[in-house]
């Protein structure tokens, strides 16, 4: 594993509409680092040409005392994983986005799902800024185009007392490759897709990652100030799950799960589902999965 890093310093920012790197070219990570060096999120960028999991790398840094705001980037991720380790996240070399951010939030354990919501909003903003795709979110942690999965979010935290010692916010987006190169994501999982597949053009990964980091920085600043509406309002607006008939699957819900209509999301990320008998259930973020009926 080869690691390079950058802290605050000069350089050329990634401009809107900048030409995309040719497919197969290494990430111009120095441009990203220069563009976000003045922000809390992005004050330090660690680049890995290839790694198993950026989340694991970020956790190791956090355990060693890394200050919040450090971003870990890679050009190739070989052992990425989905929520609860249920699926493998494939990031072929020089094609896509795989990043993780170290944060040290002053949040209660039940408030930590706001970090995943924050990452989802930042991802939608970034993709929408560079493409004309109708990108949305599927509860709790998928970035989607239609019914197909464009990306995923994985947040992991270590608790200390009544709060978090640190948290790692991981985000993956499928970029400049055909969807056929990704394989299957497992039984019940949404079919994967890519930006190239949906938009038909090569996307600048440098611009995309820069916009993601900018969005994360803006939203995390709001969370730090207690202004949760800055995250919750766009999250609800982007959440395609709301208004859908869904099947809830997971421990305690039987073989066939529960069927109802997804009506809302609470401030702590729980999905509110109204069952056929009128009962409203709040499903904790991360404990169950929902599928369209």
Q: Say how many Å lie between the first and final Cα of the chain, rounded.
A: 44
pLDDT for residue 249: 80
pLDDT for residue 8: 43
- Ramachandran angles phi, psi of 138, nearest 5°: -115, 130
pLDDT for residue 208: 98
How many angstroms separate the CA atoms of 45 and 47, rounded?
6
Closest to 207 (Cα-Cα) out of 55, 39, 35, 22: 35
DSSP string, 245-279: EEEEESTTSTTT-EEEEEEEE-TTSPEEEEETTS-
How many angstroms separate the CA atoms of 121 and 12, rounded?
26
pLDDT for residue 12: 39
pLDDT for residue 250: 74
* pLDDT tens sequence for the chain (293 residues): 556 666 544 333 444 455 566 667 899 999 999 999 999 999 999 999 999 999 999 999 999 999 999 999 999 999 877 655 556 677 899 999 999 999 999 999 999 999 999 999 999 999 999 999 999 999 989 999 999 999 999 999 999 888 899 999 999 999 999 998 886 554 456 789 999 999 999 999 999 999 999 999 999 999 999 999 999 999 999 999 999 999 888 767 777 788 999 999 999 999 999 998 999 999 887 666 777 77
* Cα-trace Rg, the chain: 18
Coil, strand, or helix at residue 26?
coil
| Surface-to-core class of residue 293, CB atoms within 10 Å of its CB (0-12 exposed, 13-18 middle, 19+ buried) | exposed
How many angstroms separate the CA atoms of 221 and 41, rounded?
9
> In the chain, what are the domains?
3-238 (3.30.930.10), 245-292 (2.30.30.100)
């Amino acid at each position: 594993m080869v690691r390079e890093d950058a802290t605050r310093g000069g350089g050329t920012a990634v401009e809107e509409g900048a030409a995309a790197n040719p497919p197969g070219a290494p990430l111009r990570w120095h441009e990203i680092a220069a563009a976000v060096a003045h922000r809390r999120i992005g004050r330090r960028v660690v680049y890995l040409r290839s790694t198993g999991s950026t989340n694991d790398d970020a956790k190791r840094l956090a355990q060693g005392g890394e200050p919040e705001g450090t971003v870990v980037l890679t050009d190739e991720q070989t052992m990425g994983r989905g929520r609860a380790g249920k699926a493998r996240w494939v990031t072929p070399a020089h094609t896509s986005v795989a990043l993780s951010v170290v944060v040290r939030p002053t949040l209660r354990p039940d408030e930590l799902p706001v970090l995943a919501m924050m990452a989802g909003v930042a991802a939608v903003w970034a993709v929408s800024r560079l493409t004309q795709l109708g990108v949305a979110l599927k509860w709790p942690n998928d970035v989607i185009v239609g019914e197909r999965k464009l990306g995923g979010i994985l947040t992991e935290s270590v608790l200390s007392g009544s709060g978090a010692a640190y948290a790692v916010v991981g985000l993956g987006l499928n970029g400049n490759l055909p969807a056929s190169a990704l394989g299957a994501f497992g039984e019940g999982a949404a079919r994967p897709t890519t930006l190239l597949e949906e938009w038909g053009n090569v996307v600048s990964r440098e611009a995309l990652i820069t916009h993601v980091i900018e969005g994360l920085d803006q939203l995390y600043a709001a969370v730090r100030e207690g202004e949760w509406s800055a995250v919750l309002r766009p999250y609800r607006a982007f959440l395609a799950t709301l208004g859908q008939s869904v099947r809830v699957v997971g421990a305690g819900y039987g073989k066939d799960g529960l069927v109802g209509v997804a009506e809302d999301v609470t401030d702590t990320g729980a999905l509110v589902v109204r069952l056929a008998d009128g009962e409203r259930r709040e499903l904790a973020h991360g404990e169950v999965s929902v599928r369209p009926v």
